[in-house]
Amino acid sequence: MKSRAAVAFKAGEPLQIIEIDVAPPQPGEVLIRITHTGVCHTDAFTLSGDDPEGIFPVVLGHEGAGIVVECGAGVTSVKPGDHVIPLYTAECGQCLFCKSGKTNLCTAVRATQGKGVMPDGTTRFSYDGKPLYHYMGCSTFSEYTVVAEVSLAKVSPEANHEQVCLLGCGVTTGLGAVKNTAKVQPGDTVAVFGLGGIGLAVIQGAKLAKAGRIIAIDTNPSKFDLARTFGATDCVNPKDHEQPIQQVIVEMTGWGVDHSFECIGNVNVMRAALECAHRGWGQSVIIGVAGSGQEISTRPFQLVTGRRWLGTAFGGVKGRSELPGMVEDAMAGKIQLAPFVTHTMGLADINRAFELMHAGKSIRSVINF
Ligand code: NAD
Ligand code: AHE
Ligand code: ZN
């Protein structure tokens, strides 16, 4: 079938809005009509050419919501008409990782996903007879996409797709990082570096966890109002200070924070986030994705004296088990999604979504197909 899609033909170039061909779902696969997709910084990261797994030409996008159109042979957990959120972290329930009870990092389709192909090693997308690659097992920048059954969370048909698409990545990642990875407790002190969709979701999660002080840090002070709305008690712009930001945070708190979160993808800030954690027990969660060749460093003494360095993918959330409940929570007003949607636009304007992100003017742009 034909599908309108935004295709990344080359790293660093704008997406091209074209009509592509989408082949039918194979066994264990599902054809989805995407209704909405958010644009996450990770899409921009891969488009920039910095992603070691980046492969072109590709249909990017991984923060979507849609409706099942057709199921391949053997698919049992969804049927045409079901409302779904595609998952870049699958949940098969069968692999070593799913069964461990320790992680959400399912391996069922991860190897082929990272190569931009479906589990059988081929693509369902093509243009002019030549294959286009899939992205993160989702490719939500196409009106029609094919994903593995294990990469689909079935959610309430009553949900507002313009908002719940953000549970496909940004908001779930931030909330989950607080609850599952850091396990923030009432009264804990938290520092959040980077106030985009991820950092603001961390602040919302910290508020829900009844954290005490929530320190929001960004070099763009236009993010501070929304951070305060979500529950930040202090807002700090590193540019307003001569000392390194970790020193500023330690001085503000006495010994540092119980939990810090890096929501930027900058290895220098990752170091600062670790070093502003409390002596003896403070922990720092890396959420940001850093470019090819980048490495983190600190004095080992920082760890010897009790700080812990952690990381999280999709907030540790198991999508098929947990997203339906999170969608219900959003519908019940227990999770706020509306404030994240600062811009909406049609697919034809998707390059503007990237421009707004790079200019620091948006939190999330949501594409309405
Ligand atoms: P974003 O671009 O919307 O927000 C980033 C924020 O960081 C901006 O507000 C920017 O002003 C701020 N910033 C940049 N440099 C800074 C600095 N030196 N000090 C302080 N603030 C600074 O991005 P986003 O969509 O919120 O994504 C954030 C990061 O999280 C990206 O690296 C993305 O790839 C990653 N991510 C990871 C996961 C995961 O599962 N681990 C999931 C989603 C996104
Ligand atoms: N492909 C990159 C890594 C990218 C990355 O770390 N992705 C995060 C999700 S970002 C969502 O916006 C993630 O979930 N990672 C775990 C995984 O299995 O991909 C690289 O460095 O190769
Ligand atoms: Zn994302």
What are the beta bridge partners of residue 67? 33, 83
Residues near 224 by Cβ (< 8 Å), separated by ≥ 6?
A: 195, 216, 218, 232, 235, 237
What are the beta bridge partners of residue 142? 5
Q: Which two tokens stand for residue 180?
A: 């599952």
Q: Which two tokens stand for residue 25?
A: 């779902």
pLDDT at res. 133: 99
Residue 140: nearest ligand to its CA? 3
Write out the H or E segment, with its range, that includes residue 305. Answer: none
List alpha helices for the chain, DSSP H. 41-48, 96-100, 110-114, 161-164, 170-176, 197-208, 224-230, 245-253, 267-275, 301-304, 319-331, 350-358
The protein residues having their C-beta less than 5 angstroms from ligand 3 (an ion) are: 40, 42, 169
User: What distances in angstroms separate CA 143 from CA 36, 59, 299, one per listed residue?
Assistant: 9, 11, 48
Which of 166, 178, 198 best tests ligand 1's pocket when mutated (most atoms within 8 Å of CB)? 198
pLDDT at res. 66: 98
pLDDT at res. 275: 98
Binding pocket residue ranges, ligand 1, CB within 6 Å: 40-42, 45, 169-170, 173, 193-199, 217-220, 223, 238, 263-266, 269, 287-289, 312-314, 357, 360
Q: Which of 17, 14, 46, 13 is nearest to 142 (CA)?
A: 17
User: What distances in angstroms separate CA 242 from CA 121, 206, 248, 264, one per listed residue?
Assistant: 52, 28, 9, 21
Q: Does residue 110 line the site of ligand 2, with CB under 6 A?
A: yes
User: How far is ligand 1, taken at its centre, from the CA of residue 265, in Å?
Assistant: 6
Q: Does residue 314 line the site of ligand 2, with CB under 6 A?
A: yes
CA distance 356 to 349: 11
User: How far is ligand 3, taken at its centre, from the CA of residue 170, in Å?
Assistant: 5
- DSSP 3-state assignment of 171? helix
pLDDT at res. 166: 99
User: How far is ligand 2, taken at its centre, from the CA of residue 216, in Å?
Assistant: 24
pLDDT at res. 119: 98
pLDDT at res. 141: 99
Helices then strands (H, E): number in the chain? 12, 17
Cβ count within 10 A of residue 322: 20
Positions of the chain with pLDDT lower than 50, given as ranges: none
